[in-house]
A and B are shown apart, each in its own frame.
Chain A
């Protein structure tokens, strides 16, 4: 029999429904897998007792015939989601010891539907990063081996604090992506402000979807840039993502930007024909210096969709190249405002000073890591008197132009847009940390436009690089048309064939 943690989420659900396995057995298998994978650094907190209690309650509901759609399915939770009474720090030092008295709406929805919490997952500090290297709790290793590495060499590197040379899982949802790829959980919550679900999914051979802005409640998620942040799942295939998103999504009166519209059964979109659907290929995504293998992957994707009956059309999104620089004004501006709340008074770390002013400054200097400090300072600068119009207002106008580009394409009948998910495969831990910060930002060049326009975007594995590492394609949809993304992504997944996840060298 397959090891229970090798099940996909849908397989586990079906095995529970047919009473082949209990929620407790399934949970025990995942707890054991997590204990054996501590070297990856994916979990920052394990909650096995809570998991087993939730699983036992799930088994009781199953016995009574009251099972929810995710009954007894063990998942991981990104450290950015408030979980009542459990460590919630967005992997920052400044939130030391913070245990919320409340539960985020997205996780509450998952528990309502029967899911089981295995623990909290590592991430870039306050979701600011593309490699999970800015976490206060240290980096996460991808389960994928660097080219030419033996398992022994990887085990030795994973045992060190900095894990140098192993591959990054991407970020900011690096713990989520690594844990899902390493079969430590059936799926995980993640969040995406500029690519933080889709880039790690692409780097680890998993599937991730950032739904339309407003589809999931942001209540109880540690805020980074409120007009861009959105919750979403990472899972091992398209169907599992569809199942998870249905439970995560929904209207919440506690988030005024959440949308009051029914949540479709996304799983029903899996397997739907894409015959006659119009897929746009934006010429501006063919960027200078794009590796040949990324270009080839994209062309293969086009052929797969054409073969499935889709109509392929070239489109133009002329403001694409301005999205990333505009993002690096809007996101830091919102972050500087959101992170003003960390002042050493109400929660977390306090570092004393001679007066209250110095106490604030000392607390924030010690509590925030270098990348977070940098972004808060950029934000404070672009919002300061004399620069607000030149930077912030201009960036928000460019955002209007970026959204208009997409609206023009959709008005011309385009159903979804196909692009590469990332400009490269995963890089090594430590490889980009000393470089210019902008080099790291370029990871999000294909994903950030989607956040700027509030659209849904999905990353699906589509092949391997010359070094044997996963590469993903991205699908961008109309607002609230996640269903089309699931239908098209399933076609890509089927055509790409099975991408075997790495065997557990880490345990």
Chain B
């Protein structure tokens, strides 16, 4: 399978990465090189094979439903590029 330029733009949008028009052909070429590389997987007989979900067999562990790690709101927002008091701020999303 290979991707066309419209698909490259669609994937970039899905991934929330802005792509300049002049970069699309180059990206298309690189993505197609990777897709060509994984093409041979189509030849493997996987009938009746379970997909791997856990590489080391283990039972999902549960923890008590309790606060374990409350650092405080000021600590949580300390690394934010933009904030007001203890809130993250973003461009306006509702009119």
Chain A: residues with CB nearer than 8 A to chain B? Answer: 97-102, 212-214, 227-228, 253-254, 256-257, 259, 319, 321-322, 325-326, 328-329, 336, 340, 343-350, 352-362, 364-365, 368, 373-374, 376-381, 384, 390-391, 393-401, 403, 436-438, 441, 452-454, 479
CB distance from B22 to the nearest CB of A (A): 13
Task: Tell me the bound Cα distance from A259 to B55 in angstroms.
Answer: 12
> In the complex, which residues of chain A have a beta carbon less than 8 angstroms from the beta carbon of B76?
101
Is the pair B81, A349 in contact by a Cβ cutoff of 8 Å? yes
Is the pair B52, A403 in contact by a Cβ cutoff of 8 Å? yes
CB distance from B57 to the nearest CB of A (A): 9
Task: Tell me the bound Cα distance from A350 to B3 in angstroms.
Answer: 30
Give me 28 A-to-B residue pairs in the complex whose CB atoms sit less than 8 angstroms apart, sorted by A's number: A212-B56, A213-B55, A228-B55, A257-B58, A325-B38, A326-B41, A328-B34, A344-B81, A346-B80, A347-B79, A355-B93, A356-B91, A356-B92, A356-B93, A361-B17, A373-B17, A377-B15, A377-B17, A381-B11, A394-B46, A396-B52, A398-B44, A399-B51, A399-B52, A403-B52, A436-B30, A436-B33, A437-B30
Closest to B16 in A: A360
Is the pair B31, A353 in contact by a Cβ cutoff of 8 Å? no
CB distance from B72 to the nearest CB of A (A): 9
Q: A374-B30, A380-B15, A438-B37 are in contact. List 12 more A-B contacts (CB 8 A).
A: A228-B55, A253-B63, A325-B38, A328-B37, A340-B16, A346-B79, A355-B93, A356-B90, A374-B27, A377-B31, A384-B11, A403-B52
Is the pair B18, A361 in contact by a Cβ cutoff of 8 Å? yes
> In the complex, which residues of chain A have a beta carbon less than 8 angstroms from the beta carbon of B1?
390
Is the pair B15, A394 in contact by a Cβ cutoff of 8 Å? no
Is the pair B38, A343 in contact by a Cβ cutoff of 8 Å? no
> In the complex, which residues of chain A have a beta carbon less than 8 angstroms from the beta carbon of B31?
374, 377-378, 381
Is the pair A376, B15 in contact by a Cβ cutoff of 8 Å? yes
How many residues of chain B get a CB closer than 8 Å to chain A's CBs?
54
> In the complex, which residues of chain B have a beta carbon less than 8 angstroms from the beta carbon of A391?
38
Is the pair B44, A393 in contact by a Cβ cutoff of 8 Å? no
Task: Tell me the bound Cα distance from A441 to B75 in angstroms.
Answer: 39
Is the pair B34, A438 in contact by a Cβ cutoff of 8 Å? yes
CB distance from A321 to the nearest CB of B (A): 8
Interface centre among B8, B38, B92 (most CB of A within 10 A): B38
> In the complex, which residues of chain A have a beta carbon less than 8 angstroms from the beta carbon of B14?
380-381, 384
Q: Contacts A322-B40, A380-B15 given; indicate if A345 touches B80 (C-beta within 8 A).
A: yes
Task: Tell me the bound Cα distance from A354 to B93 in angstroms.
Answer: 11
CB distance from A302 to the nearest CB of B (A): 28
Is the pair A364, B37 in contact by a Cβ cutoff of 8 Å? no
Enumerate the 6 nearest inter-chain pairs by beta-carbon distance, A residue then B residue, closest first: A454-B55, A396-B51, A350-B81, A347-B79, A361-B18, A365-B18
Task: Tell me the bound Cα distance from A401 to B50 in angstroms.
Answer: 9
Interface centre among A228, A329, A352, A365 (most CB of B within 10 A): A365
Q: Contacts A101-B75, A322-B41 given; indicate if A403 touches B19 (C-beta within 8 A).
A: no
Is the pair A368, B79 in contact by a Cβ cutoff of 8 Å? no
Task: Tell me the bound Cα distance from A393 to B12 in angstroms.
Answer: 22
Is the pair A328, B91 in contact by a Cβ cutoff of 8 Å? no
Is the pair A400, B30 in contact by a Cβ cutoff of 8 Å? no
CB distance from A424 to the nearest CB of B (A): 19
> In the complex, which residues of chain A have a beta carbon less than 8 angstroms from the beta carbon of B42?
394
CB distance from B93 to the nearest CB of A (A): 5
Task: Tell me the bound Cα distance from A395 to B33 in angstroms.
Answer: 18
> In the complex, which residues of chain A have a beta carbon less than 8 angstroms from the beta carbon of B17?
361, 364-365, 368, 373, 376-377
Closest to B20 in A: A365
Task: Tell me the bound Cα distance from A266 to B7 in angstroms.
Answer: 51
Interface residue? B6 (CB, 8 A): no
Select one of B3, B13, B51, B69 contacting A400, CB under 8 A: B51
CB distance from A398 to the nearest CB of B (A): 6
> In the complex, which residues of chain A have a beta carbon less than 8 angstroms from the beta carbon of B35?
378
Closest to A362 in B: B18
CB distance from A20 to the nearest CB of B (A): 42
Select one of B11, B38, B41 contacting A380, CB under 8 A: B11
> In the complex, which residues of chain B have a beta carbon less than 8 angstroms from the beta carbon of A357?
16
Is the pair B55, A345 in contact by a Cβ cutoff of 8 Å? no
Task: Tell me the bound Cα distance from A454 to B54 in angstroms.
Answer: 9
Interface residue? B67 (CB, 8 A): no
Interface residues of B in 60-95 (CB under 8 A from A): 60-61, 63, 69, 71, 75-82, 88, 90-93
Task: Tell me the bound Cα distance from A393 to B47 in angstroms.
Answer: 12
Interface centre among A97, A98, A326 (most CB of B within 10 A): A326
> In the complex, which residues of chain B have a beta carbon less than 8 angstroms from the beta carbon of A322?
40-41, 44
Closest to A102 in B: B71
Task: Tell me the bound Cα distance from A453 to B88 in angstroms.
Answer: 40
Is the pair A378, B18 in contact by a Cβ cutoff of 8 Å? no
Closest to A453 in B: B55
> In the complex, which residues of chain A have a beta carbon less than 8 angstroms from the beta carbon of B8?
377
> In the complex, which residues of chain B have a beta carbon less than 8 angstroms from the beta carbon of A100?
79
Task: Tell me the bound Cα distance from A326 to B44 in angstroms.
Answer: 11
CB distance from B54 to the nearest CB of A (A): 8
CB distance from A372 to the nearest CB of B (A): 10
Closest to A342 in B: B16
Q: Contacts A345-B88, A401-B49 given; indicate if A214 touches B58 (C-beta within 8 A).
A: yes
Task: Tell me the bound Cα distance from A394 to B69 in angstroms.
Answer: 38
Select one of B46, B54, B55, B71 contacting A401, CB under 8 A: B46
Task: Tell me the bound Cα distance from A379 to B38 in angstroms.
Answer: 13
> In the complex, which residues of chain B have a beta carbon less than 8 angstroms from the beta carbon of A328?
34, 37-38
